[in-house]
Amino acid sequence: MENGKWIEIPAMSIKREYDFEGVGKKDMYLLHHEEIEALGRNMPEVKRIRFFMTFGQSYLDHMRCLENVGMLSTTPINYNGQEIVPIQFLKALLPDPASLGPRTKGKTNIGCIFTGKKDGKERSIYIYNVCDHQECYKEVGSQAISYTTGVPAMIGAMLVATGQWKKPGVFTTDEFDPDPYMEALNKWGLPWKVEENPVLVD
């Protein structure tokens, strides 16, 4: 999103390399994410919001191959007199994600880079968390992808249940006070760091 408008581009057409602490240099791709929609709506003064995610070349090659042969399709087909959805059939063939925990190694690095003005001065910061797959598995029996998804959801539910986040209606997390949320991340397993003047992504 730029200047309040959606800009659509072909999928995976913008790739950048970034050096992530704890992970190293990785290729990342510009993608759509539902958070961009909420942030753009709730913070219209923001000039540009983008979402990048890393993918290894092997993963991308497999996805292209599966897409080319129709296995990622959500359109039902008839096979031997039964209607099946190709991507659902593929899901049934793949390993249960829960079984990947014991063998998933390495770390995740999830964060946001912000640029703007604070107290009249230009400032750039990178707020991020590094999470270790094996440490997560020791603690909860799951790898860091599940951990970094589940802990923030738990914190949001906790803040609603304790009344720290309370408004009538339906809201996204960016419409509430971020301070108790950020404090809880540090307490409940996803401590964050702030890097001043990070390398920016063009």
Report domain extents, the chain: 1-55, 57-94, 104-202
- Nearest alpha-carbon partner for 108 in 147, 59, 155: 147
Strands 82-84 and 51-54: unpaired
pTM (2 d.p.): 0.87
- Nearest alpha-carbon partner for 29 in 63, 3, 74: 63
Please give the Cα distance from 134 to 42 (Å, whole number): 37
The alpha carbon torsion through 86, 90, 91, 92 (nearest 10 deg) reads 100
Please give the Cα distance from 149 to 9 (Å, whole number): 27
The pLDDT profile of the chain, 202 residues, written as one tens digit per residue, is 888 888 899 888 999 999 999 999 999 999 999 889 889 888 899 999 999 999 989 999 999 999 999 999 999 999 999 999 999 999 999 988 778 889 999 999 999 999 999 999 999 999 999 999 999 999 999 999 999 999 999 999 999 999 999 999 989 888 999 999 999 999 999 999 999 999 999 8
Asked whether the beta carbons of 155 and 178 are under 8 A apart, the reply is no
Largest CA distance in the chain: 68
- Nearest alpha-carbon partner for 12 in 78, 67, 76: 67
All residues at 6 or more sequence positions from 75 whose CB lies less than 8 Å from its CB, including other chains: 85, 86
